[in-house]
Amino acid sequence: MIRINEHYRKLQSSYLFAEIKQRVDEYQKANPQTRVIKLGIGDVTRGLPGACIQAMHTAVDEMAEDETFRGYGPEQGYEFLRQAIADNDFQARGADIKPDEIFISDGAKCDTANFQELLSGESRVALPDPVYPVYLDTNVMAGRTGPEKDGRYQGITYLESTRENGYIPDLPPEAVDVIYLCFPNNPTGATISRTGLQKWVDYARDNKALILFDAAYECFIRDDSLPHSIFELPGAREVAVEFRSFSKTAGFTGTRCAYTVVPKDCRAWTADGDTVSLHDLWFRRQSTKFNGVSYPIQRAAEAVYSPEGQVQVRKLTDFYLTNAGMIRQAMTDLSFECVGGENSPYIWIYGGRSSREIFDMLLNQAGVVCTPGVGFGRCGENFIRISAFNSRENVEEALERIQKALA
């Protein structure tokens, strides 16, 4: 008889988020006259930059002619996009990353989930709490954890990100093999300094560990003292893999394009102690399991780096950061303690009581949807996350409603 992967049964169902949808639906049925404003999801709301649209149109026209038609593309991505990324996102910032160390994909979520396939099932995993759920769930699926107890899985090293440590977790108390980091952070919006990130690089080198660094929100960094990439730091090429996305940078959530950087210096070890290139393993994995991102989408992504594209993308991210600043200021004026919203599109708000209570209050009294922090981990209890990804009009109206509800 066919059997399932029993590790899937350890997964906690997305009861919180299913519950959120159910509560919103129930509220909407009971209050059909109220327009619910959703500031919980991290999806963008503005159209693609004009330079990207024009490039996509041109590429689609090329696909209509025999002479310029493109069939299967390289699984690792077209050279024109990989070169543009290497030049602009890394070499321009002093990071020694070459085009053939960049792998184009259809999403950072997929890549952060899939990369753990390369690693031993016995790898000891450390990840922040609160955390983007994909990091944890995919390791549960792979069998690297025991059962869940009191909101945490046995076998995982949880790196607590709290008010006391400024939402920057301390180094693991014991040696681990795989470390997930995300900065600017989802969900807290916290950022990390060069000195702070260098400590993690040094730790990974000392312990032969691997850092999986999610930099999907680096485009929102406005503080020049902060690193945009882990590869700006000495030694990172040996111990880190970085994930990036065009979803928030240029609004590609509906068109899907991202990339992962795996330096050729990055190594792991066999059971016999021999070194193996993670670059080669990821190349093999992608060649086998991934057919690449479509040509028109990659041309659209390339246009992000054109002079026009750079201006348009900056305007787009500035728009969401203005929303974020408005939200943070309004919540601060209401005497809430906040982090994020300055170099991040997310605002992490301490409510001093149950996340669900705060969620219910904002929904029932203001018709505004947020995300309860406990959905991101035990350390998220008593917090909520508010997203800046919405129209200016909706953000302004949501803040007016919240202010009235709490007056």
Residue 168 shares a structural domain with residue 232: yes
What would the mean pLDDT of 210-231 be, rounded to a whole number? 98
Residue 245 shares a structural domain with residue 105: yes
What would the mean pLDDT of 84-98 be, rounded to a whole number? 98
Specify if 66 maps to a domain.
yes
Residue 48 CB neighbour total at 10 angstroms: 22
Q: Mean of the per-residue pLDDT values for the chain?
A: 96
Residue 245 shares a structural domain with residue 116: yes
For residue range 67-88, list pLDDT tens digits in order.
Answer: 999 999 999 999 999 999 999 9
> Could you tell me the CATH number of the domain that includes residue 171?
3.40.640.10
HSE value, Cβ hemisphere, 13 Å, CA-based, for 169: 23
Q: Which residues form the domain of 336?
A: 6-47+308-406
Residue 134 shares a structural domain with residue 234: yes
Asked if residue 407 has pLDDT above 80, the reply is no
Asked if residue 15 has pLDDT above 60, the reply is no
For residue range 195-208, list pLDDT tens digits in order.
Answer: 999 999 999 999 99
Nearest Cα to 91, choosing from 252, 205, 228, 260?
228
Residue 191 shares a structural domain with residue 260: yes
CA-only gyration radius of the chain, Å:
22
- Domain closes at, from 284, 306, 328: 306
Specify if 361 maps to a domain.
yes
pLDDT given for residue 85 in this prediction: 98
Residue 189 shares a structural domain with residue 117: yes
Asked if residue 235 has pLDDT above 60, the reply is yes
Residue 285 shares a structural domain with residue 386: no
Give the count of domains, the chain: 2
Specify if 339 maps to a domain.
yes
Q: What is the pTM of this model?
A: 0.96
Specify if 182 maps to a domain.
yes
In contact, 285 and 293? CB cutoff 8 Å: no
Residue 13 shares a structural domain with residue 122: no
Residue 76 shares a structural domain with residue 212: yes
Q: What is the pLDDT confidence band of residue 12, given thresholds at 50, 70 and 90?
A: confident
User: Quick one: angle between helices 355-366 and 15-30, nearest 10?
Assistant: 20
13-27, 185-199, 305-319: lowest mean pLDDT where? Answer: 13-27
For residue range 130-157, list pLDDT tens digits in order.
Answer: 999 999 999 999 999 999 998 899 999 9
- Domain closes at, from 240, 273, 306: 306
Q: What is the pLDDT confidence band of residue 278, given thresholds at 50, 70 and 90?
A: very high
Task: Annotate 211-273 with DSSP letters as a single string.
Answer: EEEE-TTGGG---TTS-S-GGGSTTHHHHEEEEEESHHHH-GGGT--EEEE--TT-EEE-TTS
- Domain closes at, from 239, 272, 306: 306
For residue range 342-393, list pLDDT tens digits in order.
Answer: 999 999 999 999 999 999 999 999 999 999 999 999 999 999 999 999 999 9
> Could you tell me the CATH number of the domain that includes residue 344?
3.90.1150.10
How far from each other are the two terminal CA atoms of the chain, in whole angstroms? 62
Specify if 159 maps to a domain.
yes
Specify if 360 maps to a domain.
yes
Residue 22 shares a structural domain with residue 58: no
Residue 152 shares a structural domain with residue 295: yes
Specify if 1 maps to a domain.
no
Specify if 254 maps to a domain.
yes
Asked if residue 14 has pLDDT above 80, the reply is no
Residue 269 shares a structural domain with residue 145: yes
In contact, 257 and 293? CB cutoff 8 Å: yes
